Chain A
Amino acid sequence: MLNVSKLVKRYGDILAVSDISFSVSEGEIYGLLGPNGAGKSTIINIITGLIKKDKGTVTIGGMDLDKSLNQVKYMMGIVPQDLAIYNDLTAYQNVSFFGSLYGLKGAKLKRQSMDTLALVGLEDKAKSKVKTFSGGMKRRLNIACGLVHRPKLLILDEPTVGIDPQSRNHIMESVLKLNKEGMTILYTTHYMEEAEQLCNRIAIMDTGQIVAQGNLAELRGLIEEHWFINLNVKGTPPLEALRKVAGVEQIDVSGNTLRFRCSSKNSQLRDILDVLAEHHTEILDMATQEPNLEDVFLTLTGKRLRD
């Protein structure tokens, strides 16, 4: 459905996108995961024709973006990161207007507008002015405006930023539902959980490059030589001593939970437990875990997804 090959974009001295290549199959949810400034939005803007690329090719539905931009635009829908809706109009007026830009008219426009509002759970608010909406409702309307014309490829650029968990869940459910109906989705996020839950395949990005891509198992496999253990302790843990344990590469502290990244399993666990015992640190809970995308990102780049 979407094929990006050797994409390059430079802003002055800054290389925003550096030789990016990936492809998205029809009916797939493909994630672009990376921190702010990784180049995700730049790629989206190039694909949607908003900015020019310096090098590379983009094809959508078999059509070259440079040669058939207008035809390609009919096939795409965009849900931008910032809310892009008219506050002084109603929800229905917003959706139907954007639908009309893609050639929808008459009864079909009306029907699809109402169906889309129902899809995002806003059918009861069709006649309400957007300025009366909560943040989550505005986000949902933002999505509705991007898919009213039923695009073949829907691009969502960080659609859940700054909203409550309930609205976020609703959005994620809507995305899965759309995908089940056959829509191809390109989803960018810096939330690991969203990428893990939604995406069939993920490209992990940092500083304009893709550092790894594949499905979740493939990405985890990239760091299979590492293992991760979570320890829930009481009191203040002896971090300095724990960091000196051979093979312990990284310790993340979150409240009373310590997450260890180690190079081999058995010897580190014994040594870690010994250090904790020496310092009279009580262990409340212990578990080993498969690496998550945060671990993959951290291992490959040395940085966190949300620094």
Chain B
Amino acid sequence: MRTLRFLGKEALHLITAPETILLMLLFPVVLTWVLGTAFSSTNGHVIDLPEVKVPIVSEDGMLSDIFIANGQESGITFEETEQAEVNRRVDAGTLKQYVELKDKNLILHSDDKGSLEAMLVKMYANAFVKQANLSFLAVKEGKFDQATPRFKSFARVEGIDGLNEPDSFGYYGITMLTMIMMYGSMQAMSLLDLEKSTRTALRLKASPYPMNQVFFVKTVTASVIILLQALVLILINHFVYGIDYRNIGMVMLMLIPLAIFVTSLGVSSYQVMRKASAASVFLNLITFALVFMGGGYSKLPSDNGLFDTLYRISPIGWINEGLFTYIYQGKTDAVLSGSLKLLGLGLAMLLIAYVLFRREEGSDLVAAN
């Protein structure tokens, strides 16, 4: 019962601090939206192409019909237009390119040959011409069966490994989540520093409540609050931004080792440095570094040896990788491996913090305690 009340008291300290709400919830929510929107065109394997509509001046006939129909299938809309109309629009400066298909000549007229539209039309046109010539050759030699298409459909674009990957919102929905959990290390540190700053450590030591329980309560409270904040953030991301986390319950389970790691980082930093101000500076720096290394701010280039190494040694990289592969590919190998490493590191730091805590608190205590 005493421990429950202690836990409640600790939680009150964190929850009633306005900076908790601002920093831990609003900040990542806003940042997810900002970064997700800003990088929406660069993330993921799908490039949103502009709608390609090109006027075509063509003689009536099967060739023209096939050209236009095949173009439609590959995403290019050829709008049949009269030459006079095309000339008028060119003179008026409202037309930058058009296609002419006459007398078996296929010409792309363009003022902007380097534009994406022009390149797409040119690529399609070249492919069409080659296909058409092959077909004609097959017909000429009487090989009618070789005049039909061999492929089932036009080429489509997929990721290299053929698996699902997140778009920008999905990406930052994970990285902002793990980043803000990292900042929870400072909450953990502040809980431990609280009794010193309020001078209530003396009351706690003078009471019959065991000091080792004080350490336990504070670390548990910090971890629980970090996880609760993560859950709130996940729910906001899911219901407001539509970010998919596959199974929120499973994701929360996967975040437990990170919460333990983060808490232990906070308390061990404080115990080693013995001053909240110094520990705070250190935690800010280490959080930035680990989040950057883990691709938290932007995806690091995977073909760069240094960045790849940084990603692999960053605890944030471990958990991010684990969450990405679970959420988008349904695999748990990476998250299990990352969790074990986080737990191992976390427990080691927690042990160091506990030893230092007991040494400091017990330095002048009567042996019986």
Residues of A within 8 A of B (CB): 45, 48-53, 65-71, 73-74, 76, 78, 80, 82-89, 93, 96-98, 100-103, 105, 145-146
Contact = CB atoms under 8 A, between A and B. Distances in A.
Contact of B366 (A65, A82, A96): A65
Nearest to B14: A88
A3 to B, nearest CB: 16
Nearest to A82: B199
B110 interface: no
A45 B366 CA distance: 11
Given A48-B206, A71-B208, 11 more contacts: A50-B205, A66-B368, A69-B368, A73-B206, A80-B199, A84-B198, A86-B13, A89-B13, A98-B207, A103-B208, A105-B1
Most buried by A among B194, B198, B204: B198
10 contacts: A49-B365, A50-B206, A52-B365, A67-B368, A69-B368, A86-B9, A89-B9, A100-B6, A105-B5, A146-B203
A49 B366 contact: yes
A223 B131 CA distance: 125
Interface string B348-369: 0000000000000000111111
B202 interface: yes
Q: Which 3 A-B pairs have the closest CB atoms?
A: A51-B364, A101-B207, A73-B208
Contact of A50 (B1, B16, B199, B364): B364
A65 B369 CA distance: 10
Interface string B95-123: 00000000000000000000000000000
Contacts of B27: none
Given A80-B203, A84-B198, A50 B208 contact: no
B37 interface: no
Contacts of A87: 198
Nearest to B16: A88
A213 B82 CA distance: 120
Interface string B196-230: 00111011111111000000000000000000000
Interface of chain B: mostly helix, strand, loop or mixed: loop
B2 interface: yes
A69 B319 CA distance: 46
B17 interface: yes
Contacts of B208: 70-71, 73-74, 101-103
A86 B200 contact: yes
B366 A66 contact: yes
A74 B369 CA distance: 14
Chain B: interface size category: 20 to 34
Most buried by B among A101, A103, A105, A145: A101
Nearest to A74: B208
Contacts of A70: 208, 368-369
A68 B369 CA distance: 9
A32 B367 CA distance: 26
B12 interface: yes
A68 B1 CA distance: 23
A78 B17 contact: no
B18 to A, nearest CB: 10
Contact of A84 (B2, B16, B17, B202): B202
Contacts of B198: 84-87
A128 to B, nearest CB: 14
Contacts of B366: 49, 52-53, 65-66, 69
A88 to B, nearest CB: 6
Nearest to A70: B208
A64 to B, nearest CB: 9
Contacts of B206: 48-50, 73, 76, 78
B197 to A, nearest CB: 10
A206 B326 CA distance: 71
Given A67-B368, A70-B368, A98-B207, A93 B202 contact: no
A101 B365 contact: no
Nearest to B369: A69
A242 to B, nearest CB: 47
Interface string B11-34: 011001100000000000000000
A91 to B, nearest CB: 14
A117 B68 CA distance: 88
A78 B13 contact: no
Nearest to A83: B199
A97 B365 contact: no
Contacts of A48: 206
A93 B199 contact: no
Given A88-B17, A98-B207, A101-B209, A80 B202 contact: yes
Most buried by B among A65, A71, A96, A100: A100
